[in-house]
């Protein structure tokens, strides 16, 4: 007969010296791992609760301005730098790590309405209500530089007040928004080109990151206009029901842009097909003042007049996250940091605030084990996120009372409108009145 | 010569490719075991985004199953045991321990031993889930914890009371003993840690690892669940079928099954007071129950001289072994051991759930076997009998490769304490015990209330009336007036009360849901358009 019995020698299964690692053996047989789903569900529940425990998104406030912060700009050369301009003409360069001012750029007489960095990061362009465009040399953050920031390298005065400025992504051209759209070059003291469609002033302006000659602007006649520099003319315009405060192109999908509107929604459009919004992002309860995309192109942050900052997914119709503080008043500008980890908001209370983009993220260098654990927890939550207990925990956010009440009010109003519309349709002849889908409803006209 | 060489070459190429094909087939078969169900058919899905996401998921699952199969094939550190006869005439059940022991290595010979403890009653044994520690409980109060890996007696003490059952709690640090009046929890050093007074006169104990639940039956025919991490009593149910000392837990879904004296096998979960399933298994009292590790098979032994093996998916008996059995146990590889008196039999599944006798053993006549338990992760069967304890070798019964994160026989104290913490973090709530543990997170189908037809309503009404007429008795008043007409009237009232709900249902099916009152439209308002008629002045008619 052939006999064989299991016999294990202890040396094969234990470590030799105390400095060795302990030996781990795995057997993936399902009979040894019973009730896996229940175990995973319990772990997912614990992971959701831990996420809420570690959710501390506010890092710090940057104090220094003496009037409301009206605009901000990122610098492509330095990750931890941000420029901010306030309503009294004060421009500051902040170091985000120490949350202190590095240097100031004094000079503007009125409010600074637009700030932007040039492509190589060495020049800062600012424009304001005192009808001037000023170019400043940016000092390097790492070591003491001999750049004198008390004087701009150039001041260009023009005929009307400016409302916004943006720099082209591959050359030394920048565009300003004011009574009309002006195209400037660094070395010329007059605009090299001017565009206008209609007689109303242009509020905000943004160059396309993928196609450098494409430009999107929003005007005070509730329209969004797209311009092409090669043909030196505007080529598309849509008029919406309410004014758009700010536009931002998606850096990863440059054909799409998101418009922050006065009617508390953000609309994402495909630039090729402007008759319908791709996604309508609803969650704010007051006008959305500014929008900025994350460099991953998957999320964007919005700041609104209702004192909150929200982060949306690029294709999500409701916000993923909301940030608010008692001390933060009307948010006028927001920026997503270039490493997609932080969000900076500038508000009416003269402070800039630094927030984490993922509220429960562990910052700093993670050990590979920690990283794997976080990935496992994220996968668990994603797997069971539809189950009621876990969904309740993950979805829960504390809202300030005015925002909560306002949201309820908005909801009752829209529900009442929907109900009335349904009844109107039910009591009228079939096919006589068709209601436009929501994504088209807010767009009144498209012109080209 | 050239021709011969050519003819040789293609033949020599084939065996290698055949080997490869054989290995690939084997791997595919093994991968099925890790798939946990079939691939879903995504053809009918219309949602393209969801379809894409699910396709990616399915691909990942397929790959992980293949990787697990490959790991099982190439990375396992130990081999399974086997006992094969050399010629077709030889039968494995004739092979004795005395003929196996000389063929096996020294380490395995030391695992088969006899312990003579003649004074202190028949012994109950229990192995810890990693197969390293063992508890001996003699009925006359002798308790001992033994490290079977190092053959070391850790603690031995007397409790001077009747000991009915012993069970390990979360690891070797604590164990529970069902003594005469209460359940006691002892330390590894023999110190009494707790006296659990909630379960009095316990008969049998069982421990559910993942839920930290200690389950016990007692002499008052109650089933008692207690959470040992918080000490809270989760449930205490009266089974209503008499006291029983036949209890086993299903490792697949942590369901407890009790065997009763009427031949019934009932299955319980802590959140319901009634058994989930009641099976009539035998024509006499059930003497033993054991579960297969996959959770699909259960073996029951009854006083009707039969040992039956049931398939729990179809609730059918797939095999019946003639003979009594006082204890039953399934090994990790699916071998069934049954013991009666001084004879032990081991039955094996030859493939496709066809059970055949594999090995037999008999202890000296006069010894009575108390409990039979397979040692996890080893090819050893432990027998607790009236004269002590023996262990014999059963090749092929244990799982050769343990998973360090589930049970590690070579655990250090640090690993043990960390494992305890992790187990507490992953502790499952008692509500998660259900017949099908894979239904957590699945969509529950909506159960629509069926509308009864007219006939069904009438039938139910008739039944209710008959019941009332026959059961309800109107008292004959002896004091005061007691007119027969009044008695008849009261009885009619009772009958009407019983009929009332059915009459309402009947009315509903006839009329439909109650309609809103409509205002009476006056003749005056007829010249107005219909939608404005409600605003017309109401003049008295």
| Lowest-confidence segment of A5-9, A16-20, B462-466 by average pLDDT | B462-466
Give the CA distances from residue A377 to residues A34, A40, A296, in Å, rounded to whole numbers and listed in that order.
20, 10, 22
Q: Given an 8 Å threshold on Cβ–Cβ distance, is B432 in contact with A42?
A: yes
Q: What is the pLDDT of residue B4?
A: 44
Q: Can you say how many angstroms the Cα of residue B99 is from the centroid of all Cα atoms in its chain?
A: 37
How confident is the model at residue B3, as a pLDDT? 43
**Are residues A220 and A201 in contact, defined by beta-carbon separation less than 8 angstroms?**
yes
Window from A26-35, B433-442, B511-520 with minimum mean pLDDT: B511-520
Secondary element (H or E) of residue B383 = strand B380-385
Instruction: Reduce the secondary structure of B30-68 to three states and give it as a string.
Output: HHHHCCCCCCCCCCCCCCHHHHHHHHHHHHHHHHHHHHH
Angstroms from B401 CA to nearest CA on chain A? 6
pLDDT at residue B512 tops 70: no
Determine the residue of chain B that is closest to A29 in CA distance.
B34
Judged by DSSP in three states, A335 sits in strand
- Please give the Cα distance from B153 to B143 (Å, whole number): 11
Q: Check A4 against B99: CB less than 8 A apart.
A: no
Return the structure tokens found at B279: 């099976």
Which chain B residue shows the shortest CA-CA distance from A24?
Answer: B404
Q: What is the pLDDT of residue B20?
A: 75
Q: Is the pLDDT of residue B5 over 50?
A: no
The answer on pLDDT for A410 being more than 70 is yes
- In whole angstroms, what is the distance from residue B9 CA to residue B14 CA? 9
B425 pLDDT exceeds 50?
yes
Inter-chain CB pairs, A–B, below 8 Å: 140
**3-state class of B220 per DSSP?**
coil
Supply B271's token pair: 């959140």
B345 has pLDDT over 90: yes
Bridge partners for A256 per DSSP: A270
Sheet of B133-138, strands arranged across: B123-127, B133-138, B142-147, B152-158
Average pLDDT over residues A376-394: 95
Say what percent of chain B tops pLDDT 70.
92
| Average pLDDT, integer, range A148-154 | 84
Average pLDDT over residues B415-430: 96
Whether the model clears a pTM of 0.90, i.e. scores above it, the answer is no
Task: Report whether pLDDT(A397) > 90.
Answer: yes
Task: Indicate the average pLDDT of chain B.
Answer: 89
pLDDT in tens, A312-345: 999 988 999 999 999 999 999 999 999 999 999 9
Q: Which residue has tokens 């259960």?
A: B298
The helix or strand, by DSSP H or E, that contains position A354, with its residue range, turns out to be strand A352-356
- Report the residue of A16, A30, A35, A423 to disrupt the B interface, i.e. the one with the largest count of B CBs within 10 Å: A35
- Cβ separation B441–A37 shorter than 8 A: yes
Number of Cβ within a 10 Å radius of residue B108: 22
Q: For A40, name the nearest residue in chain B, comparing CA atoms only.
A: B426
Inter-chain CB proximity B90 and A38 less than 8 Å: no
Is B97 an 8 Å CB contact of chain A? no
Do B395 and A8 lie within an 8 Å CB cutoff?
Answer: no
The mean predicted confidence, pLDDT, of chain A is 93
Q: Contact A341/A79 with Cβ under 8 angstroms? A: no
Structure confidence at residue B497 (pLDDT) = 87
Interchain pair A5, B84: CB under 8 A: no
- What whole-number distance in Å separates Cα of residue B539 and Cα of residue B541? 6
Least confident residue range of A146-150, A436-440, B197-201, B361-365: A146-150
The most confident of the ranges A93-97, B33-37, B495-499 is A93-97
Place of tokens 């305890």: B420
Closest C-alpha to A383, from A391, A395, A392: A391
Separation of alpha carbons B428 and B440, rounded Å? 12
User: Does position B12 have pLDDT exceeding 60, yes or no?
Assistant: no
pLDDT higher than 60, residue A177? yes
Cα separation values, B175 from A167, B194, B385, B424, Å: 74, 10, 21, 17
Dihedral, CA of residue A148, residue A154, residue A160 and residue A164, to nearest 10: -60
Q: Dump pLDDT digits (tens) for B464-497.
A: 888 888 887 777 888 888 888 888 898 888 888 8
Q: What is the pLDDT of residues B203-220, one digit of tens each?
A: 999 999 999 999 999 999
Residue B6 has pLDDT above 50, yes or no: no
**CB contact (8 A) between residue B82 and residue A13:** no
Q: What is the pLDDT of residues A272-299, one digit of tens each?
A: 999 999 999 999 999 999 999 999 999 9
Cα B509 to Cα A233, B496, B517, B518: the distances in Å are 71, 20, 19, 21
| Pick among B403, B407, B414, B424 to test the A interface (most A CBs inside 10 A) | B403
pLDDT tens digits, one per residue of A119-129: 988 899 999 99
- Given a cut of 70, whether residue B398 has pLDDT beyond it is yes
- The pLDDT assigned to B7 comes to 44
Q: What is the pLDDT of residues B223-236, one digit of tens each?
A: 999 999 999 999 99
Contact B395 A5 (CB under 8 A): yes
CB-nearest partner of B438 from A1, A8, A37: A37
pLDDT digits (tens, 9 = 90+) for B45-91: 898 888 999 999 999 999 999 999 998 888 888 989 999 888 888 89
- Interchain contact, B210 vs A39, CB within 8 Å: yes
pLDDT tens digit sequence for B183-206: 999 999 999 999 999 999 999 999
């Amino acid at each position: 007969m052939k006999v064989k019995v299991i016999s294990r020698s202890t040396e094969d299964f234990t470590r030799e010296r105390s400095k060795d690692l302990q030996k781990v053996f795995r057997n993936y047989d399902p009979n040894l791992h019973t009730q896996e789903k229940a175990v995973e569900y319990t772990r997912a529940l614990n992971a959701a609760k831990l996420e809420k425990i570690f959710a501390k998104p506010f890092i710090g406030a940057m104090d220094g301005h003496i009037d409301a912060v009206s605009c901000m700009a990122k610098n492509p050369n330095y990750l931890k730098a941000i420029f901010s301009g306030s309503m009294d003409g004060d421009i500051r360069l902040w170091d985000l790590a120490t949350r202190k001012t590095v240097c100031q750029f004094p000079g503007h007489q009125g409010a600074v309405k637009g700030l932007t960095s040039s492509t190589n990061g060495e020049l800062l362009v600012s424009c304001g209500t005192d009808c001037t465009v000023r170019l400043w040399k940016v000092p390097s953050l790492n070591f003491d530089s001999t750049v004198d920031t008390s004087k701009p390298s150039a001041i260009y005065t023009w005929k009307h007040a400016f409302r916004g400025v943006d720099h082209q992504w591959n050359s030394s051209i920048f565009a300003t928004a004011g009574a009309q759209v002006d195209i400037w070059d660094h070395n010329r003291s007059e605009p090299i080109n001017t565009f206008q469609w209609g007689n109303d002033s242009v509020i905000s302006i943004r160059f396309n990151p993928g196609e450098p000659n494409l430009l999107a602007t929003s005007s005070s006649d509730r329209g969004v206009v797209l311009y092409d520099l090669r043909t030196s003319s505007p080529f598309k315009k849509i008029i919406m029901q309410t004014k758009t405060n700010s536009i931002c192109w998606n850096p990863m999908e440059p054909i799409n842009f998101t418009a922050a509107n006065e009617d508390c929604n953000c609309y994402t459009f495909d630039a090729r097909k402007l008759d319908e919004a791709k996604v309508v992002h609803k969650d704010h309860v007051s006008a959305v003042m500014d929008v900025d995309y994350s460099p991953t192109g998957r999320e964007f942050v919005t700041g609104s007049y209702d004192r909150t900052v929200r982060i949306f997914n690029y294709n999500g119709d409701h916000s993923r996250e909301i940030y608010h503080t008692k001390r933060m008043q009307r948010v006028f500008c927001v920026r997503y940091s270039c490493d997609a980890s932080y969000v900076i908001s500038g508000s009416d209370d003269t402070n800039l605030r630094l927030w984490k983009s993922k509220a429960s993220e562990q910052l700093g260098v993670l050990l590979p084990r920690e990283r794997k654990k976080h990935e496992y927890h994220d996968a668990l939550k994603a797997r069971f996120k539809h189950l009621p207990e876990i969904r309740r925990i993950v979805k829960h956010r504390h809202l300030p009372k005015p925002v909560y009440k306002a949201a309820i009010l908005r909801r009752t109003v829209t529900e009442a409108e929907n109900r009335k519309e349904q009844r109107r349709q039910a009591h009228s002849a079939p096919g006589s009145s068709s209601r436009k889908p929501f994504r088209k409803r807010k767009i009144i006209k498209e012109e080209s | 010569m050239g021709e011969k060489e050519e003819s040789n070459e293609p033949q020599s190429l084939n065996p290698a490719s055949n080997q490869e094909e054989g290995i690939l087939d084997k791997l595919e078969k093994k991968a099925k075991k890790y798939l946990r169900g079939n691939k879903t058919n995504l053809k009918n899905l219309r949602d393209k985004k969801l379809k894409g996401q699910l396709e990616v998921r399915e691909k990942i699952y397929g790959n992980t199953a293949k990787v697990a199969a490959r790991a099982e094939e190439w990375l396992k550190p130990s081999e399974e045991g086997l006992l094969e006869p050399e010629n077709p005439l030889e039968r494995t059940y004739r092979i004795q321990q005395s003929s196996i022991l000389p063929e096996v290595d020294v380490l395995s010979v030391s695992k088969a031993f006899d312990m003579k403890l003649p004074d202190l009653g028949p012994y109950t044994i229990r192995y810890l889930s990693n197969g390293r520690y063992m508890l001996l409980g003699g009925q006359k109060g002798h308790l001992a914890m033994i490290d079977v890996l190092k053959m070391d007696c850790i603690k031995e003490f007397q409790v001077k009371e009747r000991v009915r059952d012993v069970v390990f709690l979360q690891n070797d640090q604590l164990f529970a003993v069902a003594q005469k009046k209460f359940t006691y929890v002892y330390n590894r050093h023999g110190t009494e840690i707790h006296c659990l007074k909630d379960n009095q006169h316990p008969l049998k104990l069982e421990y559910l690892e993942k839920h930290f639940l200690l389950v016990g039956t007692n002499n008052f025919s109650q089933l008692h669940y207690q959470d040992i991490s918080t000490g809270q009593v989760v449930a205490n149910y009266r089974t209503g079928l008499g006291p029983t000392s036949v209890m086993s837990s299903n490792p697949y879904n942590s369901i407890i099954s009790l065997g009763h004296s009427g031949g019934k096998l009932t299955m319980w979960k802590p959140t319901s007071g009634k058994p989930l399933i009641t099976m009539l298994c035998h024509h006499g009292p059930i003497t033993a129950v054991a579960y297969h590790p996959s959770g699909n098979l259960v073996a029951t032994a009854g006083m009707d001289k039969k040992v039956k093996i049931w398939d729990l998916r179809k609730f059918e008996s797939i095999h019946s072994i003639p003979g009594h059995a006082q204890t039953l146990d399934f090994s990790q590889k699916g071998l069934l051991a049954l013991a009666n008196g001084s004879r032990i039999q081991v039955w094996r599944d030859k493939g496709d759930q066809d059970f055949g006798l594999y090995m037999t053993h008999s202890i000296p006549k006069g010894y009575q076997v108390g409990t039979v338990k397979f040692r996890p992760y080893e090819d050893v069967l432990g027998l607790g009998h009236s004269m002590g304890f023996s262990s014999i070798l059963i090749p092929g019964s244990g799982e050769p490769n343990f998973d360090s994160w589930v049970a590690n026989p070579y655990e250090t104290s640090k690993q043990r304490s960390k494992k305890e913490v992790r187990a507490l973090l992953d502790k499952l709530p008692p509500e998660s015990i259900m017949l099908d543990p894979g239904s957590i997170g699945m969509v529950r189908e909506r159960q629509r209330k069926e509308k009864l037809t007219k006939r069904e309503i009438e039938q139910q009404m008739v039944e209710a009336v008959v019941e009332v007429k026959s059961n309800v008795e109107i008292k004959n008043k002896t004091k005061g007036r007691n007119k027969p007409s009044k008695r008849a009237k009261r009885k009619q009232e009772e009958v009407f009360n019983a009929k009332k709900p059915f009459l309402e249902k009947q009315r509903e099916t006839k009329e439909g849901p109650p309609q809103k009152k409509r205002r009476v439209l006056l003749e005056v308002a007829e010249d107005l358009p219909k939608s404005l008629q409600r605003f017309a002045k109401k003049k008295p008619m």
